[in-house]
Copies of this chain bind each other. A is one copy, B any other.
Amino acid sequence: MDNNQEEKVMNSLKEIEIESSTDNKNNNKAKKEKKKPSSSSSDKKTGGGGSKKKEVKKETGLGLTNKKDDNFGEWYSEVVVASEMIEYYDISGCYILRPWTMSIWEIMQTFFDAEIKKMKVKNCYFPVFVSGSALRREEDHIEGFAPEVAWVTKSGDTELDLPIAIRPTSETVMYPYYSKWIRGHRDLPLKLNQWCNVVRWEFSHPTPFIRSREFLWQEGHTAFATKEEADEEVLDILELYRRVYEEFLAIPVVKGKKSELEKFAGGLYTTSVEAFIPNTGRGIQGATSHCLGQNFAKMFDINFENEKGERGMVWQNSWAYSTRTIGVMVMVHSDDKGLVLPPKVASVQVVVVPVPYKDADMQGIFDACTNTVKTLNEAGFRAEEDLRENYSPGWKYSHWEMKGVPVRIEIGPKDMANKQVRVVRRDNSSKMDIPTSNLVEKIKDVLDDIQQSLFDSAKQKRDACIKVAKTWEEFTTALNEKKLILAPWCDEEEVEKDVKARTKGEMGACKTLCTPFDQPELPEGTLCFASGKLAKKWTYWGRSY
């Protein structure tokens, strides 16, 4: 999505006035609905069922105007706003992360922060500002970032003597001090991490979460006496990134190594977890764990004395994941009804909605809702009731579906009579009645199953997109079909450049995504799909975000 498109979406969002839960304009509609007998799938007397429910939804005016399969870009922009994750901001490429987003970020942060602390990584905070001279110390590095660097030149009405850059990443911010702190082998390893904001003033294709001018991330920066230790940590961290994606966000990723062309500017080699968006046929770099080798150590003079009294350069890594993770989650799981949240990262895992009915014991139903929430919260789930009297159950169903809450519990008179609750899954709309006596155990099973199903389903869809291409013709056919292409490659930089040049078009060029660590067998004599030379490895290719 380019700037024009972004503006268009912002305007269209204003026009359609996404009706949020907090929008007073809904009150009249909602009140009107309240007078009618409410639909309840767990109360047959009202005639509640599939058809009736659809009517209610229609009435409420909730729902997305774009379809995921028809118009992915607009659908995405609409989902992130309508689910109250994102608000567009008056500076292009900057977005407001609303509480519904931040709670997901905090859950991942709690996990990752605890894991790196086990690895003896310590948190710190370096300034957001970096002097031009420090920023320019590593040539390849600055070449990679320079066009995107935002510069502060004034404070109040005063021109600064020298412009000061805002960190696009903190290698050049931190490493002058690594040079100071590291003297001997006993100072190693040095393992620091910070949770912070960074700024990359990109002008093309701003997209919430995926490509924004400011984003939140963690950046780890470590230094070791030996390459072996650095190599090992690169993979340990990559495994944590895999777990963030697969265990928390329920998104399958491929672990692998980036090509020379795609590696981190100034580093030795880059590993990544790569996700794939079937709808657009684009790969997306999920998180990166770089071995910087000794390149920055040379530029920043980070050396140490070893046990034998000899001086050596340190081996360094840096690694990061960002709020982009959340965008990938939205793209992979969400649907035409809105967001779909994996239970492990949902700030509300279960929402409990009372289903009123004429002459029903409403206080009893409300109490049952409150007690259900209490029981679930005490059992360690994140549950909330929605007892608002100015919205119909149907409106609430749509609202919480839009926000992606994994499980809805409905409680009506019949449920009360039968000592049960009606459970509805967000991921597949399936319904079941579960006895109140068995609530905690069953809800645990349902949430576990949703988490697993989301992953399985995403993996199935991703896998269905993988296409092996052994020739240029197979390659271009697969590319046109928006496939994730696995091809035998000679691993030559010039060949990758050539492929990029030959596939350049409206959709953007095709490039390597990664060379997967998990390599299929490469029969001797297999040729590179692009150069016809002997292939050295299987590599994933595709267009990407």
Q: Show the binding face of A for B, using Cβ within 8 Å.
A: 20, 22-25, 27, 87, 89-91, 94-99, 101-103, 105-106, 122-131, 134, 146-157, 163-164, 166, 176-177, 180-187, 192, 196-197, 199, 201, 203, 213-214, 216, 304-305, 388, 390
Contacts and interface: CB of A to CB of B under 8 A. Distances in A.
A147 B154 CA distance: 10
Nearest to A113: B106
Given A151-B155, A154-B153, A156-B146, A127 B94 contact: yes
Q: Which 4 A-B pairs have the closest CB atoms?
A: A24-B184, A155-B201, A99-B122, A94-B127
Given A123-B102, A124-B98, A183 B24 contact: yes
A152 B150 contact: yes
A467 to B, nearest CB: 38
Contacts of A101: 124-125
A156 B147 contact: yes
A166 B199 CA distance: 12
A197 B89 contact: no
A128 B152 CA distance: 13
Given A156-B201, A184-B27, A214 B129 contact: yes
B152 A152 contact: yes
Contacts of A155: 147-151, 201, 203
Contacts of A129: 91, 94, 213-214
B97 A125 contact: yes
A183 to B, nearest CB: 4
A11 B215 CA distance: 36
Contact of A97 (B24, B124, B186, B213): B124
- How many copies of the polypeptide does the oligomer hold? 2
Contact of A152 (B151, B186, B187, B305): B151
A43 B530 CA distance: 76
B27 A127 contact: no
22 contacts: A22-B187, A23-B183, A24-B183, A89-B126, A90-B131, A91-B129, A91-B164, A94-B129, A101-B124, A102-B122, A103-B123, A128-B128, A129-B214, A146-B156, A148-B156, A149-B155, A149-B156, A152-B166, A155-B201, A155-B203, A156-B201, A196-B197
Nearest to A198: B128
Given A91-B127, A155-B203, 19 more contacts: A22-B181, A25-B183, A27-B184, A27-B186, A89-B127, A90-B131, A90-B134, A91-B130, A95-B127, A96-B124, A96-B177, A99-B124, A102-B123, A106-B123, A128-B199, A153-B153, A155-B201, A166-B166, A197-B197
A110 to B, nearest CB: 11
Contacts of A176: 90
A133 to B, nearest CB: 8
Nearest to A23: B183
Contact of A87 (B164, B177, B214): B177
A186 B22 contact: yes
A148 B155 CA distance: 6
A305 to B, nearest CB: 6
A146 B155 CA distance: 9
Contacts of A149: 155-156
A185 B27 CA distance: 11
A240 B177 CA distance: 36
A111 to B, nearest CB: 15
A152 B128 CA distance: 13
Contacts of A127: 89, 91, 94-96, 214
Nearest to A24: B184
Contacts of A199: 128
Contacts of A163: 154
A182 B24 CA distance: 9
A533 to B, nearest CB: 37
A185 B156 CA distance: 39
A395 to B, nearest CB: 13
Q: Which of A25, A91, A129, A148 has the most CB of B within 10 A?
A: A129
A128 B155 CA distance: 15
Nearest to A90: B131
B24 A186 contact: yes
A323 to B, nearest CB: 8
Contacts of A305: 24
